[in-house]
Every structure is written in C-alpha cells, then in structure tokens.
Amino acid sequence: MLFPSKNTFFLACKYSLVGATSAIIDIGILALLVEYAHLHLLIAAVLSFCVAVGNGFFWNKKWTFQNTSPRIARQYIKFFLTSLVGLCLNLLFLSLFVYWLRLWYITAKIITSAIVFFWNFTVNKFWTFRPYTIERPAILEKSSCDLSVIIPAYNEAHDCAAVIESATTYLVPRFQTWEIICVDDGSTDATADILRDTAHNDTHIRVITHAINKGKGASVRDGVLAAHGALILFIDADGSTPITEFDTFVPLFSNGANIVIGSRYLKDSTIIHKQPWYRIMIGRIGNLLIQALLLDSIKDTQCGFKAFTHSSAKSLFGSSTIDRWGFDMEILALAQHMGYSIKEVPVQWHDSETRKSRFRPIKDAHRTFRELLRIKWNLITGVYTLTNKKK
C-alpha cells in the first residue's frame, strides 16, 4: 500500500498535534531555564525534555491512540525506554548542531525535536501503544458435563492413584456430571498401568496416552481439548494443591470470571512444605522476568491449579504452542490479549515429599526463559493471530 489509510492519516495528525504541543513546551521551558535560570544548556535540555515527554505520553495514550490497556506498568516501561533513547538522540544532535555546526541553540533545538519526534512516533505507534488484541477463535463445541478435571502425569506411579481417588471423593457429592481425564506423558514406570486400571473401574475416568514424553504443556493441552466440562480444571498429579481448593473458585465463575488460577505468592496463600531454596530463588527471578516482559498483573503464573470456562479453555489451548514448562505463561498471556477475565486466588500448596524432583535448575530455567522470549516474539509478530485464522 503506497498511501496510509484515512484512519492512519488521522492518527498521524493527532500525534502531530500532541508532538507540536510537546515541542512548544520543550522549547519554552528550555528557553526559560537557559535565559532566566542560567542553567547549562544540556541540563536545561534534559529537564525540558522530561516535561515534554510526560505531556506527550499522557495525551498520546488517552487521545491519540485511545489506549485503554490496564497494563500501565509495562506500557510505562516501554515508554520510558523509548524516551531514554529519544533523550540520548536529543542530546547527541543538540550537541552536534550547537557545538560543531555553530547553530543558534533554538534553531538546533527545533531540528533536534523533529528528529526525536519521528523516533518517538514510530516506536510508540508500533511498540508502546500497539494493540496486541487477539481475536478469539469461534468455539462450536458445547459442554456436556459440569466439570472436567485434567491430570497430566509423568512417572507418577507413587501418587496418581491417591490423587484420582481424592478427586473422585470430592466430585461425587458436588457435581451431577463430571469427568476426570488423565494424560500419561510417556511414563517409564507403572503410571500408565495404574491409570488404565483406575479408568477400567470407573466410567467417569478416561486416559490419554502419549507414546513418548511430550511435556506438561502438551499433556494439559490434549486433556483440555478432549474435555467436555462447562468448567475445566487442571491439577498436578502429585496433589500439591488439594482439589478442595476448587470450592473457592466456583463463586468467581458465577460472578463472571473466565479463568481462575491458584497462587502460592498471595498474602493468604498457605505453603505447608516449601521447595528447596534454589527452586524458590529461580522461581522468584523467573516471576520478575515474566512480570516485566509478559504478565505484569499476575503474581504466580506457574502454580499447577488453574480452571477455565469451556469456551476460554478451548480457545486458549487450541491456540497454544508451548509444550513444556512455559505453557502456563503462554496461556495466561493469550488470555489477557483475548480479553478474558482472570482471577488469581490464594491456595494451599505443598512440595511433594514422595518423589524426586525432575526439575533441572540450569537446563529447565534456560528452556523456560527461551520460551518466554518465544511467546513475546509470537505476540509481537502476530503468530497467534495467524494460527487462529488458519484454524
């Protein structure tokens, strides 16, 4: 397309008006500080630039782009980084024009403002204020039972039977129709045999078997896509969060929530048996990175106790691409960009004392970080939108 659309042209005009206002403010404050406050030119330029940037951010968010995203912290970080680069460009070109080309500082400031304006417009339009809204896929399938419980399992022979029994005991008196879907992810112990025996004795239980280990994300995805529940809950096979915690989830769905997730990091969360110190440290650092780059409003993305409405679960897991540890943050990022309501609630949690952890600190942390960057890149480049259109 050789020419911008009318909407883009109108947007550019509004941005230009805000930019012109900011430039006037910038130049006016610069002149006052230099002529009357007798500040050094570069110090005055920094102060005037900061005031102008604040004005530009407010009006461009509220008026030009009419951006209503509540994720203000992340937008502020993006805007700050953009402004920081713009400030460096401002000082660089101002010094060049005044001290090398011997231009009058006001003339130099006007030229510099035009250069920085172009930088700020381009980056803020396509990065800071870019709407990452993803269209929700159409879900034609209807639910046929009240609740589906997904239990992904990999070498969980010691715990899985007890967890299924606990889930069954919980479900029978509370739900008229329900199902448990166990996904054996290529286990090398007796997990598959235990699951098949359990399903043989109870028609409410189904088993999906992976010939090879695909990852927890792939297991949960396969379970969710096979589920029929109006609500779909997935839990860990070691029972780290008791299924009775679901009692606090149900009222939130009645009040309009699309997704309810358990959290270990809220004030009222109860940790009975803590993880090793190094896992806590890695988890906390990981959460800081996730909040900075992806999900600034969620304290704990990795707790394995999450519930969804039927349509939100099908939309999200049908669009997901991550097969291993990073699938939780991908699902939640997609949920935010699809406009689903997410509620985070404190839960009881304990680290399993019955099995050896399969978490490999360096390898798994590195893989999860790569998955974090991959999710961010997919959001920026529209991979999920294209995936949904293909489907």
**Beta pairing partners, 348:** 270
Q: What is the largest CA-CA distance in the chain?
A: 89
Integer Cα distance of 243 and 240 in angstroms: 9
Integer Cα distance of 147 and 157 in angstroms: 25
Angle at 147 between CA 142 and CA 151, to 5 degrees: 115
Better pLDDT: 360 or 139: 139
Domain segments of the chain as ranges: 6-128, 145-390
Q: Give residue-wise pLDDT tens across range 111-158.
A: 998 898 888 888 888 888 877 678 788 787 899 999 999 999 999 999
Distances from the Cα of 8 to the Cα of 2, 3, 175, 320, angstroms: 13, 10, 52, 31
Integer Cα distance of 78 and 100 in angstroms: 32
Integer Cα distance of 110 and 104 in angstroms: 10
- At the topology level, CATH places domain 145-390 in Spore Coat Polysaccharide Biosynthesis Protein SpsA; Chain A (3.90.550)
Instruction: Please give the pLDDT value at position 2.
Output: 45
User: Is the pLDDT reported for residue 353 higher than 70?
Assistant: no
Q: Give residue-wise pLDDT tens across range 269-278.
A: 988 877 776 7
The SS3 of residue 272 is strand
Strands 270-273, 205-210: pairing kind: unpaired
Integer Cα distance of 224 and 230 in angstroms: 11
Q: Is 35 exposed, middle or buried (0-12, 13-18, 19+ CB in 10 A)?
A: exposed
Q: What percent of the chain has pLDDT over 90?
A: 56
